[in-house]
A = this chain, B = another copy of it.
Amino acid sequence: MAYDKMAYDKYAHEPFAVTADLAVLTIRDGVLHVLLVERGQEPYQGHWALPGGFVQPDESAETAARRELAEETGLSDVSGLHLEQLRTYSEPDRDPRMRVVTVAFTALLPHPPEPHGGSDAAQARWVPYDTVGPLAFDHDRILADAHERVGAKLEYSSLATAFCPPEFTLGELQHVYEVVWGTALDRPNFRRKVLATPGFVEAVPGAARLTGGRGKPATLYRAGAATTLHPPLLRPTPEGRPA
């Protein structure tokens, strides 16, 4: 759409900038990691931040998020991965430069590529979630919201498979839950529950995997057709929450 200043002034009077920011989560070495970039320019130059950037005139926020993700991670095929809108942050003073509204997204990656610094970023890096220090802007809050949302969605959706490679073992799938929730789960019960949920996973017709691991080789599974889990796979009650 062409920029029609007359139409703009007639209705809106004051311009906003719109950005798309991403909380990209993955599991590396059994630990939850998030993709961060070091800002190469003011404001917050030298601070770590979530990757993201301005939405272009011909893009939706989703498209912009996917483009930024490809640019920051060097990932060639970002079409298939899980990208989900988190929420929009629009506090008037969240960016010192001007009025910036950001649409935040959550992305989940199975086997993460090594990122490289992009145009606006001095460098990009996978950072263990627990060691993330204060971030630029309100990105701490965005990241916390993303973590909370992902944790909640694991309960009633098949989202956990988005952290896994195309073929995975039930042990790997369970590990996703344990890492995101920060709790240990009973292995036989987890297995029973997952297999009793139709469409969650399906066994790969081939054989068991033997790669490297000690112990009995595990059966390989693929993500099934189901997107929602009925009944849900609830977190163990952390506090005085009733059973």
User: Which residues of A line the B interface, CB within 8 A?
Assistant: 1, 3-4, 7-8, 11-18, 54-62, 85, 87-88, 90-93, 97-99, 101, 103, 156, 197-198, 230-232, 234, 237, 241-243
Q: Is the CB of B12 within 8 A of A54?
A: yes
Q: Is the CB of B7 within 8 A of A3?
A: no
The smallest beta-carbon distance between A13 and chain B, in angstroms, is 8
Q: Is the CB of B8 within 8 A of A98?
A: yes
Known: A4-B97, A7-B97, A230-B237. A18 touches B57 (CB 8 A): no
Partner of A85 from B14, B60, B87 at Cβ < 8 Å: B87
Q: Is the CB of A60 within 8 A of B18?
A: no
Partner of A60 from B92, B232, B243 at Cβ < 8 Å: B92
Chain B residues in 8 Å Cβ range of A232: 232, 234
Q: In the bound complex, how far is the Cα of B191 from the Cα of A243, in angstroms?
A: 18
Chain B residues in 8 Å Cβ range of A14: 3, 56-57
Q: In the bound complex, how far is the Cα of B18 from the Cα of A18, in angstroms?
A: 9
Known: A14-B3, A87-B87. A57 touches B99 (CB 8 A): yes
The smallest beta-carbon distance between A67 and chain B, in angstroms, is 13
Chain B residues in 8 Å Cβ range of A237: 230
Chain B residues in 8 Å Cβ range of A234: 230-232
Q: In the bound complex, how far is the Cα of B57 from the Cα of A156, in angstroms?
A: 38
Chain B residues in 8 Å Cβ range of A103: 88, 90, 101
Chain B residues in 8 Å Cβ range of A59: 92
Chain B residues in 8 Å Cβ range of A231: 234, 243
